[in-house]
Structure 1
Amino acid sequence: MSEIQACTTAMEGISRPQRRLVRAVGHIRSQAIVRIEAADAATDVAAIKIEDYATANASAMRKAADTALLQRSLEQVAPEAANRLGTLADREVLAFAEVLGQLQREMRRA
């Protein structure tokens, strides 16, 4: 016996209002399952976005630290270029921040 036949046979002894009630409860349960699955999917997306942003941010911080170290070492070799090196280092770190901002905007859209 198929599930449909079993369900139909099981519902034969039930009054019409009771059948409507059973269908309504089934519909409510189905909607709840869909909402739960949607929430689970949204949670997965949020977790992936957080991980991706944290990875990009950590990379930018490492590169900013590398830039600062390189700037200091070059200033020791050529102290007269300290201002220009500082300007270049600042521009580089601002570019990292700009890329992170673009990533954040793209993640909001996705």
Structure 2
Amino acid sequence: MVNDDTIISGIAGEFDGYSDIVPLRKGKEGIKATSDGFLLNEEEFAELQEAVDQQIERLCRQLADGKISITPKKTAKESPCTYCEYKGICRFDLSFPGCHYEIIK
């Protein structure tokens, strides 16, 4: 989120203490993020938007080329496979060659 009071209030609304909507808290020193890297300046946000646009373009190109490999993302604590409704028909299994998680921070 862009670190701008108008944008923050437009998304988070009015709150005291911790926001129920986004990872922010309001204290004596002003509004602070409770999650690293959540509040960005406009230049950082533009860079993030550009990176997202490039990733979407890359993924769409791969899909159009017929590349639909199963490579779920995983953090140190979570994997989307935990919540997936398609485990019974998915071909993702770490015991098969070529199946691996893409680890993200």
Q: Tell me, yes or no, whether TM beats 0.5.
A: no
Specify the structure having the higher radius of gyration (Cα).
Answer: 1
The alignment's TM-score, normalised by the length of structure 1, stands at 0.27
More helix by share: 1
